[in-house]
Amino acid sequence: MRAAVVGHVEWIEFGRVDHVPEPGEIIHVTESWQAPGGGGAVTAVQLLKLAGDAMFYTALGDDELGHRAKRELEELGLRVHAAFRPEPQRRAFVHVDSDGERTITVVGDRLGPRADDPLPWEELDETDAVYFTAGDAGAVREARRTGTLVATARGVETVAEAAVRLDALVASSRDAGERYEEGDLDPPPDRVVRTASSRGGEFETRAGERGSWEATPAPGPVSDVYGCGDSFAGGLTFGLGSGLPVAEAVELGARCGAACATGRAPFGGQLRPGD
């Protein structure tokens, strides 16, 4: 299957701690590491691992971290098409506590590609599935060149402005920033998939089909949960692009999310074919 992501990158510094600090408290990190992350990058690498190949359309800061992010994503095997902006690369610090829960502090604006960026948008004509996380309305329309277009509900206003049909929208029943209400998009998405973290989630289709799924148990000790939701989105997108019914696609997504929790964030535990 041929897959791509149109979206954003955050440069992440991770710190493993006993607990998230209280106001005024000083705590010590027991392990630290850095990596490119963010919803676009994590989903793209999960798609790469499932499909064997994936393209990533993004925008990056024209600074040391932006160029380092592109280089490290390419070293993972992604084909990265990036527009560089004259501003700092968006960064984040992630506390990972003793339970593996992540708490994120973000610095800088989300950068996404624009339709007028000199990127090879025409290559999306040859893709089976694209996942959209960030960009302008024109970038959403370019992403619609694909056979199956899935998008996140975070920043749903941009998708609404584009006024294109989505094959699926990934929303949350818990996170206020990823809610979707009927009428938010016109035309409405063919499928709405609402995740609920450890409680699984539910889906509904325009044809009236409804269903739910249980969270898949982690296949090993939990390291941290950073990237689990984005890995779920990668599995869902791969499943729908491969022609799976939505009930089977969300189950694949759940397996991807569970596997991600077992490796050091964001890419260490992601699901591969045969796992």
The pLDDT tens digits of the residues spanning 86-110 come to: 999 999 999 999 999 999 999 999 9
Mean pLDDT of 144-162: 96
- Is 266 a domain residue? no
Strand partners, 31: 16
Tokens standing for residue 26: 């000083």
CB of 127 closer than 8 Å to CB of 238:
no
Report the number of distinct structural domains present in the chain: 1
Cα 163 from Cα 180, distance rounded (Å):
15
Cα 169 from Cα 150, distance rounded (Å):
6
Domain boundaries, position 184: 3-19+29-260
Mean pLDDT of 60-68: 98
How does the average pLDDT of the chain come out, rounded? 97
Model pLDDT for residues 187-215, shown as the tens digit of each residue? 999 999 999 988 999 999 999 999 999 99
H, E, C per residue of 128-187:
CEEEECCCCHHHHHHHCCCCEEEEECCCHHHHHHHCCCCCEEEEECCCHHHCCCCCCCCC
pLDDT at 155: 85
pLDDT at 173: 80
Q: Is 55 helix (H, G, I), strand (E, B) or coil?
A: strand
Cα 97 from Cα 86, distance rounded (Å):
35
Cα 79 from Cα 20, distance rounded (Å):
36
- Is 212 a domain residue? yes
pLDDT at 72: 98
One-letter amino acid for residue 45 of the chain: V
- Is 271 a domain residue? no
State the CB neighbour count (10 A cutoff) for residue 30.
11
Tokens standing for residue 186: 């016109």
Mean pLDDT of 124-153: 98
Q: Is 224 helix (H, G, I), strand (E, B) or coil?
A: coil
CATH code for the domain in which residue 76 is found: 3.40.1190.20
State the CB neighbour count (10 A cutoff) for residue 103.
14
pLDDT at 197: 84
Cα 229 from Cα 181, distance rounded (Å):
20
Of 18-27, 52-61, 70-79, 176-185, the least confident: 176-185
- Is 24 a domain residue? no
- Is 184 a domain residue? yes
